[in-house]
Amino acid sequence: MTILVTGSTGVVGNQVLEHLKGSGAEVHALTRTPEKARLPDGITAIKGDLSDVDSMRHAMKGVSTLFLLVPGVADELTQALQTLSVARESLVKGVVYLSVFKGAEYVDVPHFTGKHAVERMIEHCDIPATVLRPAYFIQNDLRQKEPLLMHGIYGMPIGGKGISMVDVRDIGEAAAQELLRRERAADPLPRATYELVGPDALTAQTIVRIWAEALGRPIRYGGNDLDTLEQRLKSVAPAWQAYDIRLMMSRYQQDGAVASTAQIEHLSTLLGRPPRSYRDFALASAVAWAKG
């Protein structure tokens, strides 16, 4: 039998594949262009598109366990619900779904509410699934390289309430462990949920101090201006997506997204260690940037 990984060529999907390689499981990576896919050794590229139901029916043949990651597209919810329905038709015995931390609370953020709706389908249809709810990705801040190095500014307007940012390597490892657990089980397993979070409640000022230490220079916060953020994002992304991210940042500023001790301990049990910290990420990034 086979594990099918969707979103396989993205940042998270790549981490999932890296943690699955060498596991002994047969792993297929869904991609629209198999001929261009650069995958880890032992992973098979399978042609398919989450927006094309017939292609998903074909890709799901022989699949026993599904990793469902739907990229940020306008019809994300439709793609996710349809793919889960195809998986049910195909008698897939286990699913690992990548949702989002605080999906039930951030009801005005479209992609949060969409992912929560998918969770509702999983629950009401009694799909044997692990739901993973990652917080804001630590690696998103690799985009801050130029502002940090050129201007001494941390520019993401995350505010002062705190976010338990998660390292994408921890996401990949958690997903791979749950995929293998479900794949190796003789029968479908009960549903499970994990908040994928970091160990610290990171505020703008906390992150500024971390980067100042890592880079050995003064760093200041760019402020909470969401108008500027939206306009900047519209230069590289569709307007709907820029607005969606603006709404997310507004909720971060208003409410924060801080994990509880119990949630951090639950993830630590799955990983067999504490989740990676932002400070370690910043220190490693500073060393890599210094090397050019």
Q: What is the pLDDT of residues 159-183, one digit of tens each?
A: 999 999 999 999 999 999 999 999 9
Ramachandran bin of 223, using left for φ above 0, alpha for ψ from -120 to 50, beta for the remaining angles: left
| Residue 128 pLDDT > 90 | yes
CATH number of 2-136+166-196: 3.40.50.720
Cα 183 from Cα 196, distance rounded (Å): 21
DSSP 8-state secondary structure symbol assigned to residue 275 = P
Please report where in the chains the tokens 């598109």 appear, as a residue: 49
Please report where in the chains the tokens 């042609």 appear, as a residue: 47
CA triple 7-11-17, angle to 5 deg:
65
Q: What pLDDT, on the 0 to 100 scale, is given for residue 125?
A: 98
Q: What pLDDT, on the 0 to 100 scale, is given for residue 11?
A: 95
SS3 161: coil
CA 206 and chain centroid, separation: 23
pLDDT band at 2 (very low <50, low <70, confident <90, very high): very high
Cα distances (Å, whole numbers) of residue 65 to 6, 62, 180, 191: 11, 9, 9, 14
Q: What pLDDT, on the 0 to 100 scale, is given for residue 222?
A: 97
**Radius of gyration of the chain from its Cα atoms, rounded to whole angstroms:** 19
pLDDT band at 259 (very low <50, low <70, confident <90, very high): very high
pLDDT band at 292 (very low <50, low <70, confident <90, very high): confident
CA 136 and chain centroid, separation: 8
Rounded mean pLDDT, 111-135: 98
pTM for the full model?
Answer: 0.97
pLDDT band at 104 (very low <50, low <70, confident <90, very high): very high
CA triple 267-196-6, angle to 5 deg:
120
Cα 105 from Cα 119, distance rounded (Å): 13
Q: What pLDDT, on the 0 to 100 scale, is given for residue 1?
A: 79
Q: Which amino acid is at 170?
A: D
Residue 269 backbone dihedrals phi, psi, to 5 degrees: -65, -40
Share of the chain above pLDDT 90, in %: 98
The arrangement of strands across the sheet holding 192-196 comes to 43-47, 26-31, 2-5, 63-68, 94-98, 129-134, 192-196
| Residue 289 pLDDT > 90 | yes
| Residue 236 pLDDT > 90 | yes
Cα 144 from Cα 53, distance rounded (Å): 38
pLDDT band at 3 (very low <50, low <70, confident <90, very high): very high
Q: What pLDDT, on the 0 to 100 scale, is given for residue 261?
A: 98
Cα 46 from Cα 186, distance rounded (Å): 25
